[in-house]
Amino acid sequence: MTLDDARWMARLIAQLTEEQIVQALVASGFDSAQVKLYTEKLISRRDQMVRDLGLAGEIRPLRPDGSNQVFSYNPGFDGPVKIRTADGREVVARVSDLVVEKGKTLSPANGPLKKP
């Protein structure tokens, strides 16, 4: 793969909006905590790829100040992730016992989970 090939691929990936990333994760069956965590990870990687390939002047980052690597999220308190489909239906990501604490998924019963 050439650098031009990588830039072409980065430009395609960069066309995805945050909403589309969230919709894809929910449609893939991830629970709300995983959706929140993976959204931040994917956005962080997308923005880093844009910078690494010298495309920052062409493509704006989704997180100009950087991704929040230590955020916490509990669907029991913060509510589950919800998306709206193209036909207007609301889809709610499932809720499990997983939470995000300081940027890592945890299961209250089992302590820290394996890093995704």
In this structure, which amino acid lies at residue 66? G
pTM given for the model: 0.87
How many structural domains does the chain have?
1
Sequence-distant (≥ 6) Cβ neighbours of residue 56 within 8 angstroms: 50
Q: Tell me what the mean pLDDT of segment 63-86 comes to.
A: 93
pLDDT value for 101 = 92
Partners of residue 99 on adjacent β-strands? 106
| Domain boundaries, position 70 | 3-111
Summarised one tens digit per residue, pLDDT across range 42-66 is: 999 999 999 999 999 999 999 999 9
Position 116 in a domain: no
Does a structural domain hold residue 34?
A: yes
- The answer to the question of residue 73 being in a domain is yes
